[in-house]
Structure 1
Amino acid sequence: MNDSESSTGPQRNGDVVKNTGQFIQHIAYWYSDGSIVVRVDDQTIYKIHLSMLTKLSKVMEEILTIPDNKQADDPNREGTSLYPLFIPGTTSQEFNDFLFWLYRTEWESLGDDVEKERMCTHLLKLADMWEIAAAKKYAIHALDMLYLPPSRRLELAGRFAIPDWVRPAVRRILDGKLSELKDHDICAMGWKVYSMLVNATEMLGQETRRTALIPPGMIKDPSIQCTDHASCQSVWPKLWFDRIGRDLLHPKTPMKLGGIVTKVLQDATLTHPKLSECCRLDMVLHCSRIIFADEDIVTQVSNAIIQFHATLA
């Protein structure tokens, strides 16, 4: 044995680390019928099935392509126990979670949701890096089954290009209070996204005040059953403010714009002695059909966040 092979550090054959006993075989992912030995760090090696990996994507096929400069049965050939093939860009924990998916059993066997989230996040990272569509689809579906704070969903949506998660997360945040977000929530979603949400909150506040003080216009052509439409028109602004506007402007528990439709559909909300029943029903129907501006604002900020996320790729 020469000096280089007797040293304690990793031994290299060209740019390949030679296994002189420094690597540990992974207990779960060392298959006797495995066709390739790989490593992702300087500690653990895996003996797995090459065909299962190369069929996943073109990228994986390229990563695992072994030069044809040695015979398949040559012990010095890369991808063997003596010279494990190095897969860059990942950690042993991430690779373990990836192999769990590849040789997968039921997620329920994992235990708590924290572990499931970790595994899915690792799977998303490697699925993007190695362009494995099936793995990404699986991870997204599994994460959809878990409760994740909206800030976390926005973080993952940005990191792994999941635009479908943006609008529901934005809606949840804007339905609450930005002041309730913790520092780690803001750091997770990013300051740029947070600033967009702040602007959206200001826009919603302006629209809420406008809607509270300026009611939807009374129908100009009343039903023939309305005998005093001028009276209906005169009481409508005050009725709107008393029953809707005050709730929108409540200092502690303000009603969201999206709650207007639900409230006007309640029979007693827009009732007034000087408002005819036919006009009341007309206005209830009219208000229930209005798409209040909060939906437009949510859509606007969601699209802006999605566009920003696209620049991160």
Structure 2
Amino acid sequence: MSVDNADGNGPESRRHPRFYFKDGNTIFMLKSADHPDGILYRLHSGLLAHRATFFASLFALPRHMGCAQEILSEGTTDDNPIELPYGLVMVDFDHLLTYLFTGPSMYPNTEAFLVSVMKLSAMFEIADGMHYTIREFTLRGDGVHPALQFELARCFGIDDWLEPAFRRLMKMSIIDLDSSHVAQIGHSGYYWLTRSKTQIQELRTKIAFHVPPIVNSVDCDTPGTCGVAWTREWEERVRQLIHHPSQPISCLDLLDQLRNTHIPGLCDACQDLTVTWLWGAQSFTREERLVDEAVEALKLLQAEEPLRAALRASVEALRKSVGLKTA
């Protein structure tokens, strides 16, 4: 497929330098604030219809001989292109066409490319585009910022990403999130994030301040010594772990460490009994329950997620704006 490049101030200067194919059979125009006169794309309707349910429906709209000539010839000339919605961003559309009309070796290795393809695949109903971007983001794993992963889960209904993204955000400091991250997380997400962090911080402060009582074994010969050792361990070491400025330990990790680390001056029997009792104490498992409660609340909000509702509205507006003139 070849591309017709042109210079000058006439209609040909508005042709896209990459996606105005000489052998294309349908001409689209995209207007934006940067290109108020519009950029022309000459594409292949067969490929678009094969890959995108939206375009298959668009090209299947009936055109009978009673239609006005303007409608019959729509999309066949530069002077009468099919107009794409004004809100469609040129860089997003170019990324989508790169995905549709070129091979993987030509794909930009950027998150912006994947987000564009995912967004317009949802809009134009391109199933393989959604599958491709979900797979690529999944392969990147923790290389994707959890705020972005959370936003994609919200917007595109990828509920499997919601919990891992939220748990990763819970491990971050709020000050490490800039305004763009907060926008990605959204109002509800940010509310549950800050609420859960505050509750957990209050819980950890109470646990650190109050030394839990030791549970002495009936076989212990030095219960007093064990009690002193347990109190010393809590005041000198556990409090530092809980309130570490950069890597505070979770309550469950703390219990694991207490179980698997020998405490000087404390007999094994007393240590095992005390840690086992702490495992059963609700305060030490409440931290995990708080996160679970937040995740469940966010999952319940997914069906009415504003971003997803906005996407549905934009798809409907797209159908009306493109199909109204064509029908």
- Do these two structures clear the TM 0.5 threshold for a shared fold by scoring above it? yes
Q: Which has the higher mean CA deviation after the structures are superposed, 92-101 or 30-39?
A: 30-39
Please, which of 29, 34, 40 is the counterpart of residue 39 of structure 1?
A: 29
Task: Measure, in 2, the Cα distance between the counterparts of 1:261 and 1:107.
Answer: 49
The answer to whether the aligner puts 1:296 opposite 2:289 as a matched pair is yes
1:75-114 → structure 2 map (5 Å cutoff)? 77-82=73-78, 83-88=80-85, 90-106=88-104, 110=108
Return the alpha-carbon distance in structure 2 between the equivalents of residues 216 and 298 of structure 1: 27
Give the match's secondary structure for 2:11: coil
Shift of residue 243 of structure 1?
Answer: 6.5
1:307 corresponds to 2:292: no
Q: Find out whether 1:157 has 2:153 as its counterpart.
A: yes
Aligned residues: 280
Deviations 1:14-61 (A, max 9, x none): xxxxxx837733232233433322233352222222222223343332
2:249 aligned residue: 255
Query: The residue matched to 1:38 in structure 2 has which SS?
Result: strand
CA-CA distance at 1:167 after TM superposition: 2.2
Secondary structure of residue in 2 paired with 1:29: strand
Equivalent-residue separation in structure 1 for 2:222 and 2:260 (angstroms) = 24
**Larger % of helix: which?**
2
Q: What amino acid does structure 1 have at the position aligned with 2:171? A: D
Percentage of identical aligned residues: 20
Give how far 1:101 is off: 1.1
Superposition RMSD on alpha carbons, in Å? 3.8
Higher alpha-carbon deviation: 52-61 or 286-295: 286-295
2:137 to 135, 140, 143: 143
- Verify the 8 A CA contact 1:215 1:237 in the aligned structure 2: no
Q: In structure 2, what is the Cα distance between the partners aligned to 1:167 and 1:310?
A: 15
Equivalent residue, structure 2, for 1:205: 201
**Conserved 8 A contact 2:259-2:271:** no
Q: CA deviation at 1:258?
A: 4.5
* Alignment partner of 1:24 is 2:19: no
Distance 1:130 1:255 in 2: 46
Mapped to 1, the partners of 2:225 and 2:118 lie a distance apart of 58
Cα deviations by residue, 1:203-257 (Å, 9 ceiling, x for unpaired)? 11232234433649849xx6xxx62288289628626624763134436454333
Query: Aligned partners of 2:232, 2:285: CA distance in 1, in Å?
Result: 19
CA distance in 2, matches of 1:126, 1:69: 30
Letter in 1 for 2:239: R
| Residues 292 and 62 of structure 1, relative CA distance in 2, 3 Å threshold | same
Change (3 A) 1:119 1:208: same
Q: Comparing both chains, which one has the higher relative contact order based on Cα–Cα distances under 8 Å and sequence gaps of 6 or more?
A: 2
**Do 1:22 and 1:43's aligned partners in 2 also have CA atoms closer than 8 Å?**
no
Q: Does structure 2 retain, via aligned residues, the 8 Å contact 1:23–1:45? A: no
* Cα distance change of structure 1 residues 217 and 196 upon mapping to structure 2, 3 Å threshold: farther
Q: Flag the 1:67–1:274 CA change in 2: closer, same or farther, 3 A.
A: closer
Distance in 1 separating the partners of 2:290 and 2:232: 27
Match of 1:62 among 57, 61, 75: 57
Q: How far off its partner does 1:121 sit?
A: 1.8
Change (3 A) 1:246 1:67: same
Q: Which deviates more, 62-71 or 177-186?
A: 62-71
CA distance in 2, matches of 1:288, 1:56: 54
Can you list the C-alpha shifts for 1:272-303, whole angstroms capped at 9, x where unaligned?
A: 4342x345456667878998333222222123
Separation in 2, partners of 1:32, 1:216: 81
Q: Is 1:195–2:185 an aligned residue pair? A: no
Map 1:116-131 → 2, pairs under 5 A: 116-131=110-125
Q: Secondary structure at the match of 1:190?
A: helix
SS at match of 1:102: helix
User: 2:214, 2:127 → 1: CA distance?
Assistant: 51
CA deviations over 1:38-93 (Å, ceiling 9, x no partner): 2333522222222222233433322333533259xx99622312532233352332
State how far apart, in whole Å, the 2-side matches of 1:108 and 1:29 are: 14
Question: For 2:23, what is the secondary structure of its paired residue?
Answer: coil
Residue 33 of structure 1 aligns to a residue whose secondary structure is coil
